[in-house]
Amino acid sequence: MKLGWLAAVVFVVGCGAGTDGAGTASDELATVCATAGTVEGIDVSEFQGAIDWAAVRASGRVFGIARVADGTQHLDPTFATNWAGMKAQGMVRGAYQFFRASEDPIAQADLLLSKIGALEPGDLAPMLDVEVTDGQTSGTIDARIAAWVAHVKAATGREPLVYTGPYFWGQIGGPPSEGTTLVVADWGPSCPLVPAAWSRWQFWQYADNGHVPGIGGLVDLDRFDGSEAALRALTGGGATTSDVPSPSDYVGIASTADGSGYWVEKGDGGMFSFGDAAFYGSMGGKSLAMPTVGVATTSDGKGYWLAASDGGMFGFGDAPFLGSMGGTKLAGPVVGVAGTKTGYWMVADDGGVFGFGTAFYGSMGGQHLNAPVSGIAATPSGHGYWLVAKDGGVFAFGDAGFHGSMGGQHLNAPVVGIAGTPSGKGYWLVAADGGMFSFGDAHFYGSMGGQHLNAPVTGMAARPQGDGYWLVAKDGGVFTFGAAAFHGRP
């Protein structure tokens, strides 16, 4: 389609704004710029051919919207592959239907609903792409759009998006159903025109001739008005606000038992061993429903667990599989894992904690948080844990003592990880810019804060002796401090 956009969106488009002389007068259109930072996405159909979604995600695109069908008569043969591909890469995904005003709107809506199934965390509401009149009157078009919107809203509980061109909308007249979100197609300007029926846009298709890695030909380029966290908050996951990593990101690091080596984890489940770290296996090259987000080692260092953002768990070496949250609907994605002598805990970004083979000491699940949780660390005894939030807030449970936090203080970048000291009487926090914060008996050995990084830091590991730590960045870069020696990087 020319104007594809997010799921659960109603697309009403036609030609790019400014190319159709018909329609509303210019005084009914307003130029509206983004109100905040933006994130990038694309919309696709069979015209893009086979897509390498890993390459698309690695290029920085956060969301994609795929066509389900053109009316009821033509199913897009690439939809199922694209729908699964976006999910596998941890992207926000949407589905749209090219609207045929000459066809039954309920039959069109039911076709789309049957292909997308139940919305999952990370899914946008369905979108309607209305860009042709099919010779119907404006009254008929308005009524059939309203019927499609109402039917989809009743089935999903979500208000569909509306995709339209600023001039085309004036040809069909009526205002959108209450609450619909505008996806506007306007190619070329620095800020798009918005039809009088809306006061702002949430998605903007700003080009129809983009080049994106992983796609052989041209593709529509889209932009969301807001942060990735805000975008994910629109999805079927409700309060999901954490950034789910790409499989191509390096997401974690863990120390060996003697502190003379480390493992680096990649979002596709791949594991890389350095120093005296033995390789026990990985999920690299295997199909994962969602990317992995963290690694925890067993007490003897002869195995490790990998946790995925959907709560899936994978054990290698002497790390036993004791259960997972895979296949269970979560209030937020899993963002971290911590191991004990008997099992492991996973934590989700809403502060919910899930324990397997070990005791549950409490969580922040269901409580108000100023920022999403981003990590977890176990105490040396295995009878407690700390959670850390992106704003630097720390929450202590079991025998984990509270030694201070960065909550309420200005941070240059969000906190992405936490590690405890050998005594359990202190901890370090690390931010995405490499800044380090020490509390209790945690000694400060240095940081990357204020220095140029090629990629943000995604995690940290402390030496078991407590005399140094490693940081790992999204691109696999490893930074060493104190007695933590550099043994290599992926």
Higher per-residue confidence, 4 vs 280: 280
Q: Quote the mean pLDDT of the chain.
A: 88
Do 362 and 472 fall within a single domain?
Answer: yes
Of 206, 233, 260, the one marking the end of a domain is 233
Q: How far is CA 84 from the centre of its chain?
A: 15
Quick one: angle between helices 105-116 and 138-156, nearest 10?
30
How sure is the predictor about 19, in pLDDT bands with cuts at 50, 70 and 90? very low
490 lies in some domain: no
Claim to verify: residue 145 and residue 30 sit in the same structural domain: yes
Q: Percent of the chain beyond pLDDT 70?
A: 90
pLDDT band at 243 (very low <50, low <70, confident <90, very high): low
Q: What is the pLDDT of residues 384-394, one digit of tens each?
A: 999 999 999 99
Q: Please state, in angstroms and as integers, the Cα–Cα distance from residue 151 to each residue in 99, 109, 110, 132, 180, following that order.
A: 14, 7, 8, 21, 13
Q: How far is CA 315 from CA 58, 101, 220, 292, 357, in A?
A: 27, 53, 41, 12, 13
Q: Are residues 97 and 214 in the same domain?
A: yes
Asked, for residue 363, whether it belongs to a domain, the answer is: yes
Average pLDDT over residues 254-263: 98
Q: How far apart are CA 221 and CA 2, in angstroms?
A: 10
CB atoms near residue 329 (< 10 Å): 12
Q: Which DSSP symbol is given to 29?
A: -
Contact at 8 Å (CB) between 175 and 169? no
The CATH number for 125's domain is 3.20.20.80
Q: Judge whether 226 and 204 are in contact, CB under 8 Å.
A: no
Rounded mean pLDDT, 91-103? 94
Give the chain's largest Cα–Cα span.
76
Q: Are 12 and 164 in contact (CB under 8 A)?
A: yes
The total number of structural domains that make up the chain? 2
381 and 282 in a common domain: yes
- Are 218 and 263 in contact by the 8 Å Cβ rule? The answer is no
Residue 235 has pLDDT above 70, yes or no: yes
Q: What is the pLDDT of residue 85?
A: 94
Task: Report residue 383: phi and psi, to 5°.
Answer: -110, 25
Q: Please give the Cα distance from 438 to 459 (Å, whole number).
A: 15
Q: What is d(CA 112, CA 89) in angstroms, rounded to the nearest whole number?
A: 22
Residue 336 sits in a domain whose CATH number is 2.130.10.10
Residue 462 lies in a domain: yes
Range of the domain at 106: 9-233
**Distance from CA of residue 473 to its chain's centroid?**
18
Clarify whether residues 108 and 164 are in a common domain. yes
Alpha carbons 319 and 317: distance in angstroms, whole number: 5
Return the minimum-mean-pLDDT range out of 4-8, 125-129, 206-210, 298-302: 4-8
Of 102-106, 226-230, 448-452, 480-484, the one with minimum mean pLDDT is 226-230
- The per-residue pLDDT for range 358-406, each reduced to its tens digit, is 999 999 988 888 888 999 999 999 999 999 999 999 999 999 999 999 9
Does residue 77 sit in the same domain as residue 117?
A: yes
Query: Which carries the bigger pLDDT value, residue 415 or residue 18?
Result: 415
List the single range of 186-195, 334-343, 452-461, 471-480 with lowest mean pLDDT: 186-195
Per the domain annotation, does 30 fall within a domain?
A: yes
Q: Is the domain of 312 the same as that of 395?
A: yes
In a domain, 488, yes or no: no
Supply the Cα-derived Rg of the chain in whole angstroms: 24
Q: Say what the pLDDT of residue 174 is.
A: 57
327 part of a folded domain: yes
Task: Please check whether residues 42 and 140 belong to one and the same domain.
Answer: yes
| pLDDT computed for residue 26 by the predictor | 40
Say what the alpha-carbon torsion angle 134, 139, 145, 150 is, to the nearest 10 degrees. Answer: -150
Q: Is residue 469 part of a domain?
A: yes
Once rounded to an integer, what is the mean pLDDT over residues 289-296?
Answer: 92
Tell me the average pLDDT across 163-180. 68
Q: Are 103 and 128 in contact (CB under 8 A)?
A: no
pLDDT of residue 239: 36
With respect to residue 239, please indicate whether it lies within any of the assigned structural domains.
Answer: no
> 342: phi > 0 → left, psi -120 to 50 → alpha, else beta; which?
alpha
| pLDDT tens figures, 348-358 | 998 999 999 99
Asked if residue 262 and residue 208 are part of one domain, the reply reads: no
| Cβ–Cβ < 8 Å for 271, 264 | yes
Residue after which a domain boundary falls, among 233, 259, 280: 233
**C-beta separation of 149 from 129 below 8 A:** no
User: What average pLDDT does this structure show over 425-432?
Assistant: 97
Domain edge (last residue) among 188, 207, 233: 233
* Torsion angle in degrees (nearest 10) through CA of 52, 53, 58, 62: 150
Beta strand 468-473 with 457-462 is antiparallel
pLDDT one-digit tens code per residue, 190-234: 999 887 777 778 899 999 999 999 999 999 999 998 877 778 777
67 pLDDT exceeds 50?
yes
Lowest mean pLDDT among 16-30, 75-89, 167-181, 449-463: 16-30
Q: Are 150 and 185 in a shared domain?
A: yes
- How far is the C-alpha of 141 from the C-alpha of 133, rounded, in Å? 7
- Name beta bridge partners: 92: 63
Structure tokens at 47: 């015209």
Local confidence band at 36 (pLDDT 50, 70, 90 cut-offs) = low
Q: Are residues 160 and 63 in the same domain?
A: yes
Q: Give the pLDDT of residue 240.
A: 37
| 444 and 417 within one domain | yes
**pTM summary value:** 0.58
